[in-house]
Amino acid sequence: MMSSSKKPLALFILFLFFFQASKAQTNQKIKDQLQAISEDNIFISEDYFNWGGSILKGEDGQYHLFYSRWPKSSQFTGWLIYSEIAHAVSDKPSGPWKYKETVLKGRGKGHWDAITAHNPKIKNFNGKYYLYYISTNMGEDDSYSDKELQETSTTGYSHPNWKILRPNQRTGVAVAESLDGPWERSDKPLIEPSGPISTLTVNPAVDQGKDGRYYLIIKGDKPNDENFVRNQAMAIADSPKGPFIIQPKPVIDYMDTEDMSLWYDQTREKYYGIFHSHTFIGLVSSTDGIHWEKTEDFEIMTKAIPTLRGEDIKPDRMERPFVYQEQGIVKVLGLACKVGNESFIVTIPVKENAQY
């Protein structure tokens, strides 16, 4: 029998053990909590390139994925011409996913979003659904033909039209009362380049901040830079439909990055942004949504995705990261991947004790 004098010491040691174990568990970083994937976590289509994506849980209890897709017959560069925004559903946020419908396409001549509909982000604000997306047009010249667009698509970056279509890319939003639509599109682009970005405004990432305002990260070219470098800028509005005002301080301008996804964590009272660089997926954070810094684990993952079979998928391209989280808990890390002539969406399950 333990003497009464030793009981407090034993209880202290037991408390210390459980405290350290709990601390070790809560200090697990998100990069260590990514689970190996199965076929259920890979969304691939026979006739289409699948790309990007954004997940939202619906009132029906299902998970809804809004993503980009375009015909393989148009080549991979067909995203600038023929991408459409599609809608898939699943019983779990990590898949498997089933195509349901096509939601948006290029609206045709005479509109800012005449050609393509690409890189969506789906959000629910105050009971309405906001589908942010990018599109482009040929400017004032509406004399182009379907054949010319096909040639632009299959030729790719070297086609003269690329120099018109790329700088005309802008971000817009479509609004609906239901995830099934109908979707009412904006008559004009949501935001124009200024301040820390030039040329174009694309790849939106948006969330509501702790002050009730709406924070939008947008990508453009780095002004006055001779190299091909993209900046990430922050814009703020009182409404999810804008007008958004670009802030003078960039989110990232110290390296070439793309494809930011943004969320505000109410528990930690921090904004987080996940993005892709040329060789890794990275994570930045901010306490006010304006001043951003690298997180402790800046590099979340390299271009290798573990599978339950024991082999890694090593994509040629791994981009468009997005996070699905519920009540501050990250459930899924999504990625767009290209291997050879296939592109697909990967929805990686994340263990619930992940920290970042």
pLDDT tens for each residue of 21-53: 333 333 457 888 999 999 999 999 999 999 999
Overall number of domains in the chain: 1
| Residue 326 domain-assigned (yes or no) | yes
- At 13, is the pLDDT very low, low, confident or very high (cuts 50, 70, 90)? very low
Is-contact 63 91, C-beta < 8 A?
A: yes
pLDDT at 11 > cutoff 60: no
Q: Report the percent of the chain where pLDDT is more than 70.
A: 91
24's CB contacts (< 8 A; 6+ apart) are none
pLDDT at 271 > cutoff 60: yes
pLDDT at 14: 42
Is-contact 47 71, C-beta < 8 A?
A: yes
Q: For the whole model, what pTM was predicted? A: 0.91
Segment among 21-25, 40-44, 117-121, 170-174 with least mean pLDDT:
21-25
pLDDT at 12: 44
Mean pLDDT score, 4-14: 48
Is-contact 42 34, C-beta < 8 A?
A: no
pLDDT at 6: 52
pLDDT at 5 > cutoff 80: no
Is-contact 216 236, C-beta < 8 A?
A: yes
The backbone region for 269, taken as left when phi is positive above 0, alpha when psi lies in -120 to 50, beta otherwise, is left
| Residue 97 domain-assigned (yes or no) | yes
Q: In CATH, what number is assigned to the domain containing residue 148?
A: 2.115.10.20
Rg of the chain taking only CA atoms, in angstroms: 22
pLDDT at 235: 98
The DSSP-derived string for 241-252 is: T---EE-SS-SB
The pLDDT tens digits of the residues spanning 189-241 come to 999 999 999 999 999 999 999 999 999 999 999 999 988 899 999 999 999 99
| Residue 24 domain-assigned (yes or no) | no
| Residue 198 domain-assigned (yes or no) | yes
Rounded distance between C-alpha atoms, residue 16 and residue 113, angstroms: 60
Domain membership of residue 337 as a residue range: 34-349
- What is the number of helices (H) and of strands (E) in the chain? 4, 22
Rounded distance between C-alpha atoms, residue 218 and residue 346, angstroms: 23
| Residue 11 domain-assigned (yes or no) | no
pLDDT at 31: 86
H-run or E-run covering 7: helix 7-26
60's CB contacts (< 8 A; 6+ apart) are none
| Residue 301 domain-assigned (yes or no) | yes
pLDDT at 294: 97
Q: Report the percent of the chain where pLDDT is more than 90.
A: 85
| Residue 279 domain-assigned (yes or no) | yes
Question: Is residue 133 classed exposed, middle or buried when 0-12, 13-18 and 19+ CB atoms within 10 A define those classes?
Answer: buried
- Long-range contacts from 335-341, C-beta under 8 angstroms, 24+ separation: 335/281, 335/305, 336/50, 336/51, 336/52, 336/53, 337/305, 337/313, 338/49, 338/76, 339/313, 339/314, 339/315, 340/316, 341/72, 341/76
Mean pLDDT score, 53-57: 97
Is-contact 203 221, C-beta < 8 A?
A: no
| Residue 16 domain-assigned (yes or no) | no
The pLDDT tens digits of the residues spanning 81-110 come to 999 999 999 999 999 999 999 999 999 999
Question: Is residue 285 classed exposed, middle or buried when 0-12, 13-18 and 19+ CB atoms within 10 A define those classes?
Answer: middle
The pLDDT tens digits of the residues spanning 129-143 come to 999 999 999 999 889
Residue count of the chain: 356
